[in-house]
């Protein structure tokens, strides 16, 4: 069965003409799929029954389904989502006073093997299709309305997988999410986070994207970054700095650095100095300093609060725009680096 959501509106118009149907039927189908988010062709009640039957013989709508949700004491909701082929991904709804943020996944598993990330200890099974990513967002939007009576305000591609290694589907999903015929969300409210795929950062620049970019830095020298992020061996800091500057020059879009603090690894004053050097070579708006969230396979620890405060104060004294980001959903393993689904048989 073909996926009806992969058929564009112009293609639908040609298809309807070939079936002897009027042109406006294509728009009706398109609206059912992308504005009403129909889960079944038979739900398209303004189509003639005979047309619905014809479409059902050839097409399906393989929707992502909510498997179950976990609720944190801080209001965060972690969700296990089931894909049509039996795989699962996790996504997170993060409510704050000013924002309602969806943290979405782009791959089943991940191939980058970052040493501090639960997803990094999984094999990458496959990329998510663009419509599956859109489903993630719409499901989280429904959840936000149900529990908080608010629509999503922001989307971050910071869940499972490396979004720039699923570039085509990520871009197509964002196009649909920001389309007036879709969710109509501003690109400026979307942030794509990457472990550092320099070639694709430059591709985003060439494509003149309007969303924000976050680089998961986590260490400010090649030696240390190689230890925890194997991707740095082929995408070192000099290459990434060049790519980020290329990106900013082409797009003017906001760039942030993500930097998890690990006890006795990257939390010294020397580490802060190295971070400042990187910061001053890129037109970055902000460094998000993130507290480490323990996972089963990794041996890293969170620094003492005094150490964190000293690190933040040193950045402040050196006029670095840095913010300490407290993790949400830690009690349900929904915080940064904790998404995995490792107990599912297919993973």
Residues assigned a catalytic role? 90, 336
297 SS3 class: coil
The helix (run of H) or strand (run of E) holding residue 79 is strand 77-82
Half-sphere exposure of 204 (CA within 13 A, CB side): 37
- The answer to whether the Cα torsion of 42, 47, 50, 54 is positive or negative is negative
DSSP H stretches of helix in 207-268: 222-228, 237-251
The total number of residues shown for the chain amounts to 347
Closest-CA residue to 136 (of 165, 98, 101, 164): 101
Query: What distance in Å separates the CA atoms of residue 66 and residue 16, rounded to the nearest whole number?
Result: 32
For tokens 């936000």, what's the residue?
Answer: 144
Query: What distance in Å separates the CA atoms of residue 149 and residue 91, rounded to the nearest whole number?
Result: 19
256 beta partners:
214, 286
Taking a C-beta distance cutoff of 8 angstroms, is the pair 95, 88 a contact? no
């Amino acid at each position: 069965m073909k996926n009806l959501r992969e058929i564009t509106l112009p293609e639908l118009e040609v298809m309807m003409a070939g079936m002897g149907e009027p042109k406006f039927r294509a728009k009706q189908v398109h609206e059912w799929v992308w504005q009403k988010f129909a889960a079944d062709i038979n739900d398209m009640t303004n189509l003639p029954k005979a047309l619905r039957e014809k479409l059902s013989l050839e097409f399906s709508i393989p929707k992502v389904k909510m498997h179950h949700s976990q609720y944190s004491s801080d209001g965060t909701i972690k969700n296990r989502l089931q894909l049509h082929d039996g795989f699962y991904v996790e996504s997170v709804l993060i409510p704050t006073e000013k924002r309602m943020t969806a943290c979405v996944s782009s791959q089943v598993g991940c191939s980058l093997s970052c040493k501090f990330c639960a997803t990094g200890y999984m094999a990458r099974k496959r990329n998510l299709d663009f419509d599956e990513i859109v489903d993630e967002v719409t499901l989280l939007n429904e959840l936000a309305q149900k529990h908080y009576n608010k629509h999503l305000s922001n989307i971050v591609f910071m869940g499972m997988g490396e979004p720039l290694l699923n570039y085509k589907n990520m871009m197509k999903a964002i196009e649909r999410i920001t389309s007036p015929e879709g969710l109509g969300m501003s690109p400026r409210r979307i942030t794509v986070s990457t472990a550092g795929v320099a070639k694709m950062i430059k591709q985003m620049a060439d494509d003149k994207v309007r969303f924000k970019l976050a680089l998961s830095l986590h260490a400010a020298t090649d030696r240390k970054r190689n230890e925890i992020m194997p991707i740095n061996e082929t995408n070192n800091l000099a290459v990434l700095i060049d790519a980020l500057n290329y990106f900013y020059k082409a797009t003017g879009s906001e760039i942030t650095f993500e930097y998890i603090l690990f006890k006795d690894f990257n939390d010294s004053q020397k580490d802060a100095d190295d971070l400042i050097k990187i910061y001053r070579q890129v037109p970055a708006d902000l460094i998000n300093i993130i507290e480490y969230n323990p996972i089963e396979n990794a041996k890293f620890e969170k620094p003492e609060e005094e150490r964190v405060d000293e690190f933040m104060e040193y950045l402040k004294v050196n006029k670095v725009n840095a913010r300490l980001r407290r993790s949400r959903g830690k009690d349900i393993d929904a915080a940064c680096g904790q998404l995995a689904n490792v107990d599912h048989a297919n993973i």
